[in-house]
Structure 1
């Protein structure tokens, strides 16, 4: 009888650990501001196709060398380029449904990833 009760308790403990482990992402907090968090979501959902592989020369997110010259232009110029298109990048990266504010958040996030 004791072994059965011990096994039941052990099973409950294992289930408890398994269930709490499934929700571990919900308990972590982001150190990003709300604007940068929104920018991160936009970049990961829309911009990574080009900015993860440098398609058409897009600077890779987090690559300081690729962002160095661009970052010196300042965020306002980069946001303007992203909104209106620049070089091979189409206006708003081809996502016309993004607002200018969302584009600004995305640019801000990408700059934050290279310490700007």
Structure 2
């Protein structure tokens, strides 16, 4: 009887630990995507020729870490040497399709802004 109880307690602890890790992982991913999100109206307000600071005030720092690497892996060829990426938060998102925004700079000036469809989501 004791070994059955120990087994049950072990299983319960494992389930609780797994649920806790899944919750923390989900929250982390949500916060990464939320930080990387750029609203459509902000994208539209940015114009080529703006300084990096002006763009940053509109769209923030853009995606970092895992989200940035994922967006870079799907991007089309770019003009600038240094880019800010963001997950597109569209007013009317198309069903089954995700988009990203990219702002590329040469020096301190924006030389390209574009929206591109992501292949995987």
Instruction: Tell me if both proteins adopt one fold, taking TM over 0.5 as the criterion.
Output: no
| Greater RCO (CA < 8 Å, at least 6 residues apart) | 1
TM norm structure 2: 0.36
TM norm structure 1: 0.37
Structure whose residues are more often strand by fraction: 2
The structure number with the bigger radius of gyration is 1
